[in-house]
Each structure stands twice: as structure tokens, then as C-alpha cells.
Amino acid sequence: MTSLTPVSAPVRPRNLTPLWQVLGLLIIVGVWWLITDVLKLWPPYVFPSPKAVWEEFSYGLWGSGPQDGKLLSSVGSSLRRVALGYVIAVALGSAVGLLMSLWRPLRDTLGAYLQGLQSVPSIAFVPFAILFLGLNERAVMFVVIIEGFIPVALAVSGAVLNVPPAWRTAGRTLGASHFSLVTRVLLPAALPNIVTGLRTAWSFAWRALIGAELLTANPGLGRLLEVGRNTSNMALVIATIIIVGVVGGLFDLLIRALETRMRRDYGLEVQV
């Protein structure tokens, strides 16, 4: 009589990505310190040391002086602006994208124009927005909305069109009305690809916001970059660039986590 031996669960390899990322960051800071504080390849006003940039962080984020705290207030202004613009862009883009997927004449006309406009850099819309709306908050919002609207509209349209035809046929066979077919079959089936478009739209809107703030007088991270340039404060410029990257990356990670979770729920991604 042979005995059955229990089958052990496969051992999953440890995820060392965070460790490698921290190690890479330490190497970058070490090389930065070496060429600025030790080798002194450039003067501090051209390429400041990590310590000088850290001081700008401390002044800007938690400093108590009358001019301190500007980084923190700028982050708040930019986040408020991009959040409002992104919500409007997603609402408008979803509606237009759904209409384009359901009505071919609109898809063949407006869809083709949006494809062309998608290749236009966001900074190109800033002069139009300033001349059309003035040098104010509305000009910045216009650029953010237009840059978020285009990828959302194209993503929703493409995602609904890519739903397998058999799903439409099954819905109609089961007696679904046109409204039910859209809301209960097409949109749920297209949701993973729509979320991918939302993540792309966030990146576009965030970059558009910084570019628009850079060229207008509205307070924000983009405006802070311009202040650093005008005062020859390279440490402030680098500190602001790092803040822009960190804030944008954090929101991208949040949307990416939602996208990954949704793709797993739909069976489109296998965890290894």
C-alpha cells in the first residue's frame, strides 16, 4: 500500500522590486552628491547639491517663515485645479466616447479630428486658451480639460467597439433593450479598457496643468518653476520637479492599482 504525500504549495519568488528601487535611489543621490559636493563640476547656482535641494523642501513644505510653505500651498492649488478639470474631462469624454461608439457618422468625423488633436502637445493649447479666455484660471482649466477629454473619449469609444459581437448578439437574444444592452452589457464589458484610458488621461491632464501654470500667473507648481527660473534658484526648480514627479506618480499608482484589480476580476491578467 502506497502512502499519499501532501503536495506542497508552489513557492512564489519574493518581490524584490521595492528593494531595487530604493537601492537605485540611493545610487542616484550618491552620484549626485559626488559630482556636486566632492568633485564640484558645476557651481551651486547651476547644479546645487542634494543638501541645498533638501533645504528648499524643508522651507517649502514645513518652514515657518513668512515666505515658507509655498511648495505645500502650490501642491494644494495644483491638485485642486487638476482634480476639477479631470472630473469634467472624464464626464465629457465618457459621454462623447459612448456616442461615438454607437453612432458611426460621429465616430468618422469627430473621432478622426480627436485622433489628430491627440498628437498636439498640451503646451500648444496654452496660447489659444490665454487669447480666448484671458490670463486667468479658466485658461488653465481649459487646457487641463481638453487634454483629459481627448484620451477618455477615444478610450471609451474604442473599448465599447472592441466588445465581442457575440456579447451584443447574446444580449439582444435575451431580450435586452437598447438602453439595457449599453448599460448592462457593453459598458461593463468595456470597463477594464476604459480604466486604462482614464490612467492615460490623468497623465495627460497632469502634464498639461504644469505646462499651463508655467505660462500663466496662477499659483501652482508650474508657477513655482517659473519663480525659481526668474530668481535663478535652481534648488527650488529641482525640488519642484521632484514634487511634480512624486505627486503625479502617486496618483498614477492609485489608478494603476485599480486597473490591475479590475483586469484580475475580469480574468484578463494572471498573478504570477
**pLDDT for res 21:** 86
Residue 3 pLDDT exceeds 70? no
264 contacts 78 by C-beta, under 8 angstroms:
no
CATH of range 61-263; options 1.10.3720.10, 3.30.70.20, 3.20.20.70, 1.20.1260.10: 1.10.3720.10
**pLDDT for res 174:** 85
> Residue 130 belongs to what H/E stretch?
helix 125-133
> What is the residue extent of each domain of the chain?
61-263
Tally of CB atoms within 10 A around 260: 15
**Long-range Cβ contacts of 73-80 (<8 Å, 24+ apart):** 73/219, 74/219, 74/220, 74/221, 74/223, 74/224, 74/240, 75/221, 75/243, 75/247, 77/218, 77/219, 77/220, 77/221, 78/209, 78/210, 78/213, 78/220, 78/221, 78/222, 78/247, 79/247
Residue 67 pLDDT exceeds 60? no
Section 38-62 average pLDDT: 87
Q: How many helices (H) and strands (E) does the chain have?
A: 12, 0
Section 154-164 average pLDDT: 92
Q: Which of 6-15, 16-25, 89-98 has the lowest mean pLDDT?
A: 6-15
- Residue 109's pLDDT band (boundaries 50, 70, 90)? very high
**pLDDT for res 175:** 82
